C-alpha cells in the first residue's frame, strides 16, 4: 500500500471553471490542489477517496508545504480549491494551527473552495473564513435527497441536517457547492434521472451556488450492495444538463465527465462530449441538433 507524503500533494492542476450568477456568466481560472490528508471519519461506502489518505494526522506545517509545492508549479489563477479527500475542518486531518499560513497562501485568490461534512468543525469555518481576503466556499456531498440512498451509503446525515447546514453557511456569508450523484444500485436509468432532478432542485432551493453532478460509478463498491448500476450515456447526461440549466437563472451547473474523457468513444459520442463540455463551460443548453 502506498504511503503518501504529508509534505507533498497527491496532485494539482490548473483548470477553467464556469461562473454563473444573476449578472451573467463568465469563466475563471482555478488552481486545484488535491492535498494528502487523514482518512475521512465518515466513511461513505461509495467513496474511494480514502485510497489517497493516511491513517495518522499530519504535523503542523505539512499541509502548508503541500500548498507551497503546488503553487510554485502552477500559473496565477483567480480561485483556489483545497481538497483533502475528506474534511477541511477536521482538526485531525488539517491542524487549525496552519490556518494563518494557509490564508496567507490564499491571499492572491478571490475565492477559496474547500470540502467538508456538515457535522464536522462548524466553529472552525468562521475561524478560517475571517482570515481570508477572498470568499470562502464549502463543497458538500449531499449525493441525493432520496433517504434510502443517504442511509445506504452511510452518509451519517439526513436531508434536514444538510438543509440546516446550508442555511448556516448562508447566514455566515459562506458559499455552498453541492455534489450530487446521478444513480445508485438497483434503480433503472429513468429513476436515476428523476431523483437527480429532484435533488438538484432541492440544492438550488437551499442556496447552492454551484452544483456538480457525478455520474454513478462503482467506486469502492457501495458496501454490500452488489445490484447493477444504471447505465448513463452521454445522450442522457446532455438531457439532464439541459433540464438543470433551465431550472435556475443563477446557480452554476456542471457534470463530471472525467470517465468519458478516458474512454474510446464512437464519433457520435465524441461530438456529444465536445458539445456538452462546451455547454458546461459556457453555462448554456446543449444544442440538440449537435448531439
Query: Tens digits of per-residue pLDDT, 6-42?
Result: 999 999 999 999 999 888 899 999 999 999 999 888 7
Determine which helix (DSSP H) or strand (DSSP E) holds 273, and give its type and residue range. Answer: helix 267-282
Supply the pLDDT for residue 227.
Answer: 87
261/269 Cα distance (integer angstroms):
10
Supply the pLDDT for residue 142.
Answer: 95
219-237 burial code (b ≥16 CB/10 A, e <16): beebeeeeeebbebebebb
Residue 202 phi/psi, 5° resolution?
Answer: -65, -45
* Residue 75: C-alpha distances to residues 67, 70, 80, 122 (Å): 13, 10, 11, 32
Mean predicted lDDT score pLDDT of the chain: 92
Instruction: Decide if pLDDT at 167 tops 90.
Output: yes
More confident residue, 172 or 22: 172
| Domain boundaries, given as residue ranges, for the chain | 11-290
Supply the pLDDT for residue 219.
Answer: 66
Give the pLDDT mean for 62-66: 98
Placement of cell 432532478 in the chain? 197
Instruction: Decide if pLDDT at 221 tops 80.
Output: no
The pLDDT tens digits of the residues spanning 67-95 come to: 999 999 999 999 999 999 899 999 999 99
Second CATH level (architecture) for the domain 11-290: Alpha-Beta Barrel (3.20)
pLDDT category of residue 222 using cuts at 50, 70 and 90: confident
Instruction: Decide if pLDDT at 136 tops 60.
Output: yes
3-class secondary-structure state, position 252: strand
pLDDT category of residue 290 using cuts at 50, 70 and 90: low
What is the 8-class DSSP label of residue 225?
-
- Give the lowest-confidence range in 140-144, 160-164, 226-230: 226-230
238/273 Cα distance (integer angstroms):
9
Instruction: Decide if pLDDT at 1 tops 70.
Output: no
What is the DSSP pairing of strand 79-83 with strand 24-34?
parallel
Instruction: Decide if pLDDT at 288 tops 70.
Output: no
Torsion, Cα of 107, 108, 109, 114 (10° steps):
-40
What is the 8-class DSSP label of residue 94?
S
138-168 burial code (b ≥16 CB/10 A, e <16): bbbbbbbbbeebbebbebbbebeebbebbee
Helix intervals (H) in 52-146: 62-71, 99-105, 122-129
pLDDT category of residue 147 using cuts at 50, 70 and 90: confident
Supply the pLDDT for residue 172.
Answer: 97
Instruction: Decide if pLDDT at 46 tops 90.
Output: no
Supply the pLDDT for residue 2.
Answer: 66
138/165 Cα distance (integer angstroms):
11
Contact present, 76 and 44 (Cβ < 8 Å): no
Determine which helix (DSSP H) or strand (DSSP E) holds 200, and give its type and residue range. Answer: helix 189-205
pLDDT category of residue 148 using cuts at 50, 70 and 90: confident
Instruction: Decide if pLDDT at 149 tops 90.
Output: no
pLDDT category of residue 220 using cuts at 50, 70 and 90: low
Amino acid at each position: 500500500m502506498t504511503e503518501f507524503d504529508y509534505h507533498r500533494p497527491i496532485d494539482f492542476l490548473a483548470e477553467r471553471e464556469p461562473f454563473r450568477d444573476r449578472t451573467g456568466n463568465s469563466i475563471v481560472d482555478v488552481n486545484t490542489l488535491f492535498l494528502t490528508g487523514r482518512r475521512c471519519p465518515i466513511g461513505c461506502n461509495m467513496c474511494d477517496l480514502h485510497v489517497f489518505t493516511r491513517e495518522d494526522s499530519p504535523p503542523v506545517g505539512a499541509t502548508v508545504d503541500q500548498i507551497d509545492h503546488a503553487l510554485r508549479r502552477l500559473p496565477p489563477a483567480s480561485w483556489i480549491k483545497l481538497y483533502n479527500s475528506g474534511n477541511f475542518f477536521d482538526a485531525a486531518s488539517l491542524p487549525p494551527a496552519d490556518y494563518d499560513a494557509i490564508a496567507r497562501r490564499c491571499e492572491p485568490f478571490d475565492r477559496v473552495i474547500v470540502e467538508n461534512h456538515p457535522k464536522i468543525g462548524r466553529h472552525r469555518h468562521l475561524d478560517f473564513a475571517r482570515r481570508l481576503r477572498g470568499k470562502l466556499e464549502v463543497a458538500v456531498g449531499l449525493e441525493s435527497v432520496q433517504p434510502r440512498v443517504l442511509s445506504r451509503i452511510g452518509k451519517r446525515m439526513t436531508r434536514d441536517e444538510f438543509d440546516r447546514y446550508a442555511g448556516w453557511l448562508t447566514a455566515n456569508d459562506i458559499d455552498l457547492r453541492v455534489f450530487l450523484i446521478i444513480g445508485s444500485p438497483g434503480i433503472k436509468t429513468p429513476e436515476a434521472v428523476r431523483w437527480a432532478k429532484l435533488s438538484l432542485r432541492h440544492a438550488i432551493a437551499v442556496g447552492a451556488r454551484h452544483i456538480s453532478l457525478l455520474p454513478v460509478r462503482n467506486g469502492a463498491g457501495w458496501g454490500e450492495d452488489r445490484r447493477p448500476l444504471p447505465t448513463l450515456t452521454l445522450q442522457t447526461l446532455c438531457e439532464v444538463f439541459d433540464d438543470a440549466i433551465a431550472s435556475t437563472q443563477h446557480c452554476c451547473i456542471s457534470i463530471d465527465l472525467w470517465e468519458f474523457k478516458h474512454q474510446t468513444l464512437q464519433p457520435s459520442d465524441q461530438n456529444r462530449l465536445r458539445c456538452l463540455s462546451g455547454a458546461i463551460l459556457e453555462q448554456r443548453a446543449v444544442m440538440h441538433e449537435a448531439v
